[in-house]
A and B are shown apart, each in its own frame.
Chain A
Amino acid sequence: MKEIQQIPVAQASRTNPFARVFDELTAFCRSRSMFMLHYCTGCGAIELPPAMTSRFDMERLGIQPMVSPRQADILLITGYVSVKTLKRVILTYEQMASPKYVIGICSCTVNGGMYWQSYATAKKLNDYMPVDMYIAGCMPRPEAVIEGLRGLMERVRTGEANGWEDYYRRYDYYLGHQQRLFGEAWQTPTNVIQEAEHYGLAGPETEGEHTALLRQHQQPLEPLEMRIGLKERV
């Protein structure tokens, strides 16, 4: 992680004297209001309902479930991600609005857990997307989940949880791992490099050999065909 911190970040000049106040207010509100998109892939999903409902009640911390990636702040992955699932997880992650955070729950997201021998399971989640918080355990109890979420809240408030910036700064690294798993023709509908330039996060490591490979295979997205009614069968 050391080399990440050394990358100089161009700070836009803030002329408003209250800019710092606004920034702190926004950071505080971000930490106290988290919309969570749970991508429940494994058995870890069992421990989430008690954390959300009357026993532990996440809503008192401002955390509530949302159903669409556009609305969500946290992507919660609870368990092993198979190669097929991981594609969907990455598509979901890229559609979320920044700042966005990823939480990996259970041992499976840390090192593959009990599926470490499986050929179809992605072992380390943070090879494919930046993970802000791991909650280890098989499965972690709701207390541990809440403790982890509180930890993330604290990191969001102090501005330390900026894993999403890493995804744009070092897109080549993550794309390399994705290509290793999904093949060279892998592409997502989101233009991550353009987004990185938009945020001002595009650095020397955003593009590399893997993004060159992506550009080689990339097909422009075409709008879906608009059709009313079903195709007649002959």
Chain B
Amino acid sequence: MSVLELLLELVLMPIVAFVIGLFMVLMMRKIGARLQRRVGPPVFQPLYDIVKLYGKRTQVSHGLMHDIGIIMAVGGYVAAETLLPMPGMNGIAEKGGLIALLYVIMIPSLGLALGVGQCANPNGSIGISRALTAMLAYDIPFVIVIFGVAWHFGTTNLVDIIALQQAGGIATWGAVEMPLLAIAGLFGMQAMLGKQPFEIYVAPAEIATGPMVEMGGKYLGGLFVMQSFQLYTAAVIYVTLFLGGGENWLFFLIKIFAVVAIPMSIAFLFPRYRTENLVGLLWKWPVMAGLIGVALLMY
């Protein structure tokens, strides 16, 4: 592959991911609306929101870290997209692998923590401390899942993992061969997306949207962009590890939208756990399922 081709892929992959992410946000809001027997927003609503937020004339900055925090939050996901293979485009996925991806998708949370820290808003500080606690909670099952998958396929290379699953057909998909790990991964994804019942760090009625409380204008716009990337990233990681990646664009889109629809449909039916309940729950059930799954793989 030539350098020019690689550069083109590195530019194209985040853009495609963003567009798909916008439709995922739309789907999330539509599912919420349908479950509440409403019509829901129009098709381009996520785009309207983002354009409007960037078009705001007041941009209240609380300092340099506040600006850099948002850039880290979006940039972390932009970097993650180049490590995630999509049909026809691998980017630098072969060079990165699962371990690098694991590190890169932690950057947004840390960037957000830095940025929100400078706002000095108590609601924001509580929110971000909850977000980092939640990260501590869901990273344990997530790491177990990634270890199990890497052990099973004997590689951490995402391109190889996809190729191995596609060569064997549905019977060799991760979800079929490692059902317990797939369930643990689904649990972890619900918490990673911060959806109910694990919505502790947004909690609009309690801490006024937590980390977002001091964000207006382009800062909130940045977080909206981050949300689209976040949905896309979580879905593609899951599809890559357990559902055989995308054979072509049609199957790829069907799979990732189906995967995102699961946590969304669950989310709007639940209230919210407290922080200690969330940590207890995530360290108990998905970890247990994941460890049993790994044990079954090894013997």
Contacts and interface: CB of A to CB of B under 8 A. Distances in A.
Interface of A: 25-26, 28-30, 32-33, 53-54, 57, 59-60, 62, 66-68, 70-71, 73, 96-99, 195, 199
B208 interface: yes
Contacts of A60: 38-42
Grouping DSSP codes into helix (H, G, I), strand (E, B) and loop, the B interface class, with mixed when no group exceeds half, is loop
B42 A62 contact: yes
Contact of B216 (A28, A71, A195, A199): A71
Contacts of A67: 204-205, 208-209, 213
A70 B60 contact: yes
A58 to B, nearest CB: 9
B212 A99 contact: no
Contacts of A59: 29, 33, 38-41
Given A29-B48, A68-B214, 13 more contacts: A25-B51, A26-B52, A30-B52, A32-B48, A53-B38, A59-B40, A59-B41, A60-B38, A62-B49, A68-B216, A97-B57, A97-B60, A98-B56
27 contacts: A25-B51, A26-B52, A29-B55, A32-B52, A33-B45, A53-B36, A54-B36, A59-B38, A59-B39, A59-B40, A60-B39, A60-B40, A62-B42, A62-B48, A66-B209, A67-B204, A67-B205, A68-B213, A70-B215, A71-B216, A96-B216, A97-B56, A97-B59, A97-B60, A98-B57, A98-B58, A99-B57
B59 A57 contact: no
Contacts, number: 87
B255 to A, nearest CB: 28
A71 B38 CA distance: 24
Nearest to A34: B52
B118 to A, nearest CB: 13
B191 interface: no
Given A59-B38, A68-B214, A70-B60, A30 B55 contact: yes
Interface in B169-196: none
Contacts of B41: 59-60, 62
Chain B interface category by residue count: 20 to 34
B24 interface: no
Contacts of B51: 25-26, 29, 33
B129 to A, nearest CB: 14
A60 B41 CA distance: 4
B134 interface: no
Interface string B199-224: 00000110011001111110010000
Contact of A54 (B38, B48, B57): B38
Contact of A33 (B37, B38, B39, B48): B48
A82 B92 CA distance: 61
A26 B209 contact: no
Nearest to B58: A97
Contacts of B205: 67
Contacts of B39: 57, 59-60
